[in-house]
Structure 1
Amino acid sequence: MVPPLYYLVPVLGGYAATSYYLLKHPHILQKRKRLAFHCRHISHRGGAGERIENTLEAFDNAVVHHTDLLELDCHMTKDGRVVVSHDGNLLRQTGHNVNIGDTTYEELPQYKQSLEVTFFPGHMSSGTDHRIPLLEEVFQRFPNKPINVEVKEDNDELIRKVSELVKRYQRTERTIWAATSDRVMKKCRKENPDMPFMFTPCRGVVLLLLYYTGLLPFVDVPESVVETYMPSIINRTYFPKPTLMRNRFLVYLQEKLIMRKSLFQHLQARGIQVYLWVLNQDSDFRRALDCGVTGIMTDYPSKLHTFLQEYEGQQRTRGAEAQNAVSDSDQQRTHL
């Protein structure tokens, strides 16, 4: 009798070899996505380290420093206005313990004079603009700038109004649906299926399972954007509320599972952009780019802009040096 391993080993070997080849050449099975934007520089809440988060002044500052994508959050007021704010309760941001959904737009309090940067504890931001803006104002002010809109509530009317604004300002191809809930994301996609959308955390876990089982090259992926944290910032600049996420072993495990250059390269070859958040130090910027991500989300737009100029200059210099080395080698062979 022939042992089962006699058949199993060649089958598994063939599967692994095929999966590996398709991981490197995804175009054989998968059609490349064609997004209307390519984002290297992403401003978290408009750049919450340099101006008061999610204000028009913050977005203006980010655009001045050549951001490619504005990231923001939205809620809806009691009188049905879609506003840009990260928190539903305004205690942290304004000092007033009120919920946006229980307040009319005209009654919303203003931001504090300064706010601590969520992803850089101990650092404060300030500015002259302390007003919570309408999402419509942001669309009007930046008609051509790609914007990542995170829907913070499971609210059908909010989702419908965000979609209506996107269509009214003809920015469907330049606006990303973002949500942490699969239920909310499903509603967003149903309301406006033409908008690109990101992986939810649960879908991100599925993505990793597909990658590590070798199935990813064979599976169609509807999402256009991966937005995830870089695990190494946990317990340094990012302190998750669930204490379990701060466990050193789990942080180490996430680092090994998520930060895979081959995964990022495969996704980008399929036209899926990969953004890491929220990075605020040069060493983290460099590590993210060296791992092959598409873009970096930061609270400091000016700092990231300066870094990218220097980093890309260094890359061009290295490329020129490598090309010169090849030319010198070719000339030596010619002389021989």
Structure 2
Amino acid sequence: MDSTQTVTYIGVDISKETLEVCLPSGKRRFPFTPSGMTSLRKAFPKEGIPHVICEATGGYEKALLEDLWEHGIAVSLVNASRVRHFAKSEGLKAKSDPIDAHILARFGEEKKPRRCDPPTPVRKKMIELLDRRAQLSDMITQEKNRTQKAPASLRKSYLRVLKTLEQELNTTDRELEKCVGSDETLKRNDELFCSVKGIGSVTSWSILAYLGDITQFGRNQLVALVGVAPFDQDSGTHKGRRRIEGGRAKVRRALYMAAQSAAAHNPVIKPYVARLKERQKPHKVALTAAMRKIIIHLHSIAKNQELSLA
């Protein structure tokens, strides 16, 4: 890439059926279809290097990311909360207004976010397996609830379905173990993460798959990416409660489960959570603080490549 070329940031607001795009020539709308994405790429300015800025939209962004990666176009998947705070600080939007393509393009120009590179084949397979695992886990919970209320005449049917789902879950876990074992770096980091009391395989796999190499991020970047960085609710003289926003929901879900376990068994996290509760912090606030402490600790042991002592 010619370093003298200008980067042109292009904001793309993704919905289920359309792509709202902010180009230097103005706003355009494209259908969110293969032909629509082709038309989008053809609309990029010929001068300069295009860099697309978009936010996570519950999975809809996946097709666009893969299309852009396939054609060698830089793309950043940005944290919605960071963009919203940027917009508020610039006076572009009220806090309840939606984030649009223009704001995403402005965010790119001002913040120049890190480009989002495609996952390795192993990580891609892990992501697919973890997504399927989450589906199976939810189905098992639902089927267990139904089994409890099942009439006696149908109980065996419910149990057969439950057994099949549990077998599929076990098979998926074995496939994930194979993925981790096939890559020395993943294998080593999995061992490091699981050395932390409260961190199980699913949490470790989720971090490795959805975040990749966490040492590429600074600590503050990492907690914001995961969605456990507190944002203030202050306005004028009013001091609102701090809260968390955005982030990688799948990682946060796994970390939440880990924090619950660590709050009961980890020699560092357990007293830490207890102290927060003594200060009248709500249970979820204490667990969120524990999640933040855990991900920072994992960042440290991954960076130093040393087993955890806690």
Same fold (TM over 0.5): no
Superposition TM-score, scaled by structure 1 size: 0.25
Task: Say which structure is richer in helix.
Answer: 2
Structure with the greater relative contact order (CA < 8 A, sep ≥ 6): 1 or 2?
Answer: 1
Superposition TM-score, scaled by structure 2 size: 0.26
